[in-house]
Amino acid sequence: MTVPLDDFLGGLYRTFGPPKAMGESAPASDRPHFFLHRNFLGEQDLAILFNTKRCRYQCKFCALPFKSSREWIPKEGVLAQFRYVLEEDKHALGVLERVTIANEGSVFDQTTFPADALIQITAATRKLPRVRKIVLESRLEFLRAEQLKEIAQNSGKQLDILTGFETLDEDLRERVLGKREPLDVFLRGLDVVAEADCELTAYVLFKPDPVMTDEEAWAEAESSIDYLHEHCAARGIPLTIRLNPMYVAHDTQWARRAEKVENYQPPQLSDIITLAERKRAQGIAVYLGLTSEGLSDEDKTYRAREDFTRQLLKQGIVMNGDGSVSSRHHLLPLVEAGDPTPEPLLESK
Ligand code: SF4
Q: What are phi and psi of 35, to 5 degrees?
A: -150, 155
For the whole model, what pTM was predicted?
0.93
Q: Does the Cβ of 104 fall within 6 Å of ligand 1?
A: yes
Measure Cα distances from 80 to 30, 32, 47 in Å. 5, 9, 16
Out of 62, 109, 186, 250, mutate this one to test ligand 1's pocket (max ligand atoms within 8 Å of CB): namely 62
| Ligand 1 centroid – CA 173 distance (Å) | 12
Q: By C-alpha distance, which of 102, 100, 57 is closest to 253?
A: 57
Q: Is residue 296 predicted with pLDDT exceeding 50?
A: yes
Indicate which atom in ligand 1 lies nearest the CA of residue 56.
8
Q: Does the Cβ of 177 fall within 6 Å of ligand 1?
A: no
Q: By C-alpha distance, which of 348, 345, 215 is closest to 274?
A: 215
Q: Is residue 227 predicted with pLDDT exceeding 50?
A: yes
**Residue whose CA is at the smallest distance from ligand 1 atom 4:** 59
Q: Does the Cβ of 139 fall within 6 Å of ligand 1?
A: yes
Whole-angstrom Cα distance, residue 212 to residue 167? Answer: 13
Higher pLDDT, 224 or 263: 224
Q: Is residue 228 predicted with pLDDT exceeding 60?
A: yes
Farthest CA pair distance, the chain = 63
Q: Are 267 and 305 in contact (CB under 8 A)?
A: yes
Indicate which atom in ligand 1 lies nearest the CA of residue 139.
3
Q: Does the Cβ of 59 fall within 6 Å of ligand 1?
A: yes
Measure Cα distances from 307 to 273, 299, 313 in Å. 12, 13, 10
Higher pLDDT, 138 or 331: 138
> What pLDDT digit, counting tens, does each position of 163-208 carry?
999 999 999 999 999 999 999 999 999 999 999 999 999 999 999 9
Q: How confident is the model at residue 122 (pLDDT cuts 50, 70, 90)?
A: very high
What pLDDT is attached to residue 63?
87
Those residues with Cβ within 8 angstroms of residue 168's Cβ, 6 or more apart along the chain or in another chain: 183, 223, 224, 227, 228
Q: Does the Cβ of 55 fall within 6 Å of ligand 1?
A: yes
Range 3-11 average pLDDT = 95
Q: Does the Cβ of 290 fall within 6 Å of ligand 1?
A: no
**Residue whose CA is at the smallest distance from ligand 1 atom 3:** 57
Q: How confident is the model at residue 302 (pLDDT cuts 50, 70, 90)?
A: very high
Out of 33, 51, 57, mutate this one to test ligand 1's pocket (max ligand atoms within 8 Å of CB): namely 57
What pLDDT is attached to residue 338?
53
Q: What is the mean pLDDT of the chain?
A: 92
Range 283-291 average pLDDT = 91
| Ligand 1 centroid – CA 31 distance (Å) | 21
Indicate which atom in ligand 1 lies nearest the CA of residue 61.
1
Burial (CB < 10 A; 0-12, 13-18, 19+), residue 70, is exposed
**Residue whose CA is at the smallest distance from ligand 1 atom 2:** 105
Range 3-17 average pLDDT = 94
Q: What residues form DSSP beta bridges with 49?
A: 34, 102
> What pLDDT digit, counting tens, does each position of 30-89 carry?
999 999 999 888 899 999 999 999 999 989 999 888 888 999 999 999 999 999 999 999
| Ligand 1 centroid – CA 191 distance (Å) | 21
| Ligand 1 centroid – CA 100 distance (Å) | 17
> What pLDDT digit, counting tens, does each position of 234-285 carry?
999 999 999 999 999 888 999 999 999 999 999 999 999 999 999 999 999 9
Q: How confident is the model at residue 345 (pLDDT cuts 50, 70, 90)?
A: very low
Q: Is residue 213 predicted with pLDDT exceeding 90?
A: yes
| Ligand 1 centroid – CA 313 distance (Å) | 26
